[in-house]
């Protein structure tokens, strides 16, 4: 943004990131918070897009996330293999107020290890922490790592639930989930799509772990769209259907 990391020729790389987790844990909300800095209470946010894109600026490079939401196909375990293909990152979400959702998250991690890229970066996110924080302990600042201006997502800590029920709602102790994440080699965060807590760190820490050089090397000559053209085979020249149809800009949101 303002300070623009211009100067050196910036390397921008496209990274496909998929979301997984039980229905209603807040996957779509997490994306919407990250991409548009919005939250819609008590209702399913409309993604309505093939995927959303969001840039993530690191010290020496810009990473452009192509974020695929499940579009509800997780509900009856009907995610297509296409969903996992060429994903370089995954966020597996559970709800800290629902113990069974962590168990579900573990099965999604296994599914990823079975279906996805072997070197995919996986993060585990315990969402809805706002529900287990008492109003006297406002959410910690979320943006310490961000180089760009802080989003104002954390500006509404006052909305946390009435102090009385704070910790009784929590069904997944942080330590338990963290221990599992460590053992399984996952990044771990507690987040709130509602307040914005942890959201930016989540995506920034994933970005830091993505083997960007490897991706750049393997997609050389490819169409460069991670989801579509083969990131697997590297040297394969794919056909871009829109190319001769209409020279559309590389818009993604429809």
What is the number of the residue whose Cβ is closest to Mg ion? 28
Residue 126 in contact with residue 113, Cβ under 8 Å?
A: no
* CA nearest neighbour of 34 among 15, 18, 52: 52
**Which residues 192-251 are close enough to bind other proteins by CB under 8 A?**
200, 223, 225, 227-230, 232-233, 236-239, 241-246, 250-251
Residue 56 CA to residue 68 CA, distance in Å, equals 16
Of the candidate spans 24-32, 139-147, 168-176, 220-228, the one that interacts with Mg ion by CB under 5 A turns out to be 24-32
Choice from 80, 141, 162, 164 touching other proteins (CB under 8 A): 80
Helix (H, G, I), strand (E, B) or coil at 32: helix
Residue with tokens 């509900």: 75
143 belongs to the binding site for Mg ion (CB under 5 A):
no
Query: Pattern of binders to other proteins over 113-152, x per CB under 8 A?
Result: --x------------------------------x-xx-x-
28 belongs to the binding site for Mg ion (CB under 5 A):
yes
Choice from 24, 49, 99, 131 touching other proteins (CB under 8 A): 49
Residue 36 CA to residue 102 CA, distance in Å, equals 27
29 belongs to the binding site for ligand GDP (CB under 6 A):
yes
Residue 177 CA to residue 235 CA, distance in Å, equals 40
- Rounded to whole angstroms, the maximal C-alpha distance in the chain is 62
Choice from 16, 17, 20, 28 touching ligand GDP (CB under 6 A): 28
Residue 202 CA to residue 192 CA, distance in Å, equals 11
25 belongs to the binding site for ligand GDP (CB under 6 A):
yes
State the residues that interact with Mg ion by CB under 5 A. Answer: 28
């Amino acid at each position: 943004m303002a300070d623009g990391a211009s100067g050196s020729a910036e390397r921008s790389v496209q990274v496909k990131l998929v979301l997984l987790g039980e229905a209603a844990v807040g996957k779509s909300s997490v994306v919407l918070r990250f991409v548009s800095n919005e939250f819609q209470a008590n209702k399913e946010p409309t993604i309505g897009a093939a995927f959303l894109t969001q840039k993530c600026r690191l010290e020496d490079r810009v990473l452009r996330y192509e974020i695929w939401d499940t579009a509800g196909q997780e509900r009856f375990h009907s995610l297509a293999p296409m969903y996992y293909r060429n994903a370089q990152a995954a966020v597996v979400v559970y709800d800290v107020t629902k113990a069974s959702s962590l168990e579900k998250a573990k099965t999604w991690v296994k599914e990823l290890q079975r279906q996805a890229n072997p070197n995919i970066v996986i993060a585990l996110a315990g969402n809805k922490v706002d529900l287990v924080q008492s109003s006297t302990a406002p959410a910690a600042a979320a943006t310490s790592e961000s180089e760009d201006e802080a989003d104002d997502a954390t500006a509404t800590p006052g909305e946390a639930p009435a102090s009385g029920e704070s910790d009784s709602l929590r069904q997944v102790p942080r330590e338990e989930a963290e221990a599992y994440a460590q053992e399984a080699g996952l990044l771990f965060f507690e987040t709130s799509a509602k307040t914005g807590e942890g959201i930016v760190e989540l995506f920034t820490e994933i970005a830091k772990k993505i083997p960007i050089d490897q991706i750049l090397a393997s997609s050389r000559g490819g169409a460069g769209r991670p989801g579509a053209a083969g990131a697997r085979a590297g040297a394969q020249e794919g056909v871009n259907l829109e190319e001769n149809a209409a020279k559309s800009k590389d818009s993604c949101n429809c």
